[in-house]
Amino acid sequence: MIIRRDESGFAHCPARSLGWSAVLWLIWTALLLFTLLMGILVGSQLISVPSRQTYQGALVPAADPVPIILPAGVTLEAVLVTEGDHVDAGQTLATLDREKIKERLEDLDRGILVAGITRECLHHDSRETPLEDLLPNDLSQETRLAAESSLGACHDLHARAEVAQDRIAAERRVLQDQLDVATKHNRLLLQIRPQTDAQKIRQVEAAIALASRMNSFEARLTTLTLDERSQQLETNVDLRNRMDKIMQEIEADIMERAQLSLLLNAPRLLAPVAGTIHRLRPIALGTQARASVPIMKVLSDSATQYLVHFTVPRPRVAHLPPGTPVSMLIRRMTDRPFRLHGQVTKHRDTLRAAQAGQVQMIAELTPESAAVLSEGRIGMALHGGVATTEIAVSVANIPLGERMGASWRNLLTAGACQRMSVFFWFSCNSRARDKI
């Protein structure tokens, strides 16, 4: 048989059809390869193997440090501790200016009094009551000026609401008068007895026009009624919100006053618990804060336990039951990386993790690892907050397909198809050589 060759000299298979035995042999071979491939894919999902997964996590203290607050309006005289010092419960951490505490107490008393007067004015309109009857006689000049200013703002609020109500009421009276006139004309129109058809037509047209005007007046009156109720509701809501805000300010001032009253006898800040000084702010002596701010924190000695937070894909949660061992490699806290161990305790859903299709896992350290963290520079580094760490988790019963990954499955499928193409090409050329 003559083999056809193209200009490049490449030999092609003959155009004649194959025999039935060869076709059947090719079909059975393709079925065998397909069955083998499907068996591998199905088996990769049924066969479970252990796996070691790695995630990025954070190592955090189990208990938050206790903040030490410098009250607003109080001057800091001296700070008696430094970063990293160990303190006992009740130990003096800083001293305060007694005179500034007295001035702050007077400001709070004045603010509480003015806020109470303003709240009473918002609750009951007192524009007709003289100021002498509203304010106590023994007020200082500064307090009296503040109270008069607050009462003036309250009276302006009531006056604006009254003006809006008066405008609606005036417009309603005008519309009601117009509606009464239209009703009277309609009554007179109905008493007329037309004699001719033209008069009847004019009477009907006049009645229709008059009815239309009356309907527009009634619709406008209904709208004004709704506007009046809406205005009253908005005014009541505004007054209620203002009174609630003032009440919250009064409660906050009362709590601050109680704390400052204790500091007046002993003007110093004390350690609430025994622990280590942490995050000491560099505040200059003599500084007077406008608002209450934390100047340092005390990490309690009892807060020696640490937690590990890391996120995993939601399908992986079923393979991480409580008690699953985890190991952590921490690189950024010391010069040399070190490894800690623990176990998974629970999981919880957070908004950020849920949006990414993940779940936050929580693990506790073993007592040995917790003891390592509570000593030396490692523990002090953790006192700074959160340490980024690499979490290695040993996961059991992972399907072989997931272990191999999508890239391996794609490679396996592509390799099988390539082998089948090579096989068919080789078979074709083998039969061509046999026929030569």
Greater pLDDT, 327 or 384:
327
**Res 396: pLDDT:** 52
Q: Are strands 76-79 and 66-70 parallel, antiparallel or unpaired?
A: unpaired
**Res 410: pLDDT:** 47
Greater pLDDT, 319 or 211:
211
Express each pLDDT in 77-89 by its tens digit. 889 999 888 899 9
Greater pLDDT, 330 or 325:
325
**Res 96: pLDDT:** 92
For residue 341, what are the β-bridge partners? 327
- 0.75 cut: is pTM over it? no
For residue 159, what are the β-bridge partners? none
Residue 173, H or E segment = helix 141-191
Please classify residue 416 by burial: count the beta carbons closer than 10 Å to its beta carbon, then call 0-12 exposed, 13-18 middle and 19+ buried. Answer: middle
The stretch 212-237 carries a mean pLDDT of: 89
Nearest in space to 431 (alpha carbons), one of 8, 14, 9: 14
Distances (CA, A) of 321 to 254, 318, 345, 392, 397: 49, 7, 8, 15, 12
Express each pLDDT in 235-257 by its tens digit. 888 888 988 999 999 998 999 89
254 in Cβ contact with 112 (< 8 Å): yes
Cα separation, 280 vs 24, whole angstroms: 84
**Res 348: pLDDT:** 81
306 in Cβ contact with 365 (< 8 Å): yes
The stretch 377-381 carries a mean pLDDT of: 51
- Sheet with 275-278, edge to edge strand ranges: 66-70, 293-300, 275-278, 86-87
Give me the domains of the chain, ranges plus CATH numbers.
20-48+403-435 (no CATH), 50-64+300-399 (2.40.30.170), 68-97+267-299 (2.40.50.100), 100-264 (no CATH)
Cα separation, 53 vs 213, whole angstroms: 81
The stretch 164-186 carries a mean pLDDT of: 88
Region label for 385, one of left (φ > 0), alpha (ψ between -120 and 50) or beta (otherwise): left
Greater pLDDT, 53 or 275:
275
Express each pLDDT in 13-46 by its tens digit. 555 555 677 777 788 888 888 888 777 766 665 5
Question: Is 50 exceeded by the pLDDT of residue 430?
Answer: no
Cα separation, 29 vs 35, whole angstroms: 10
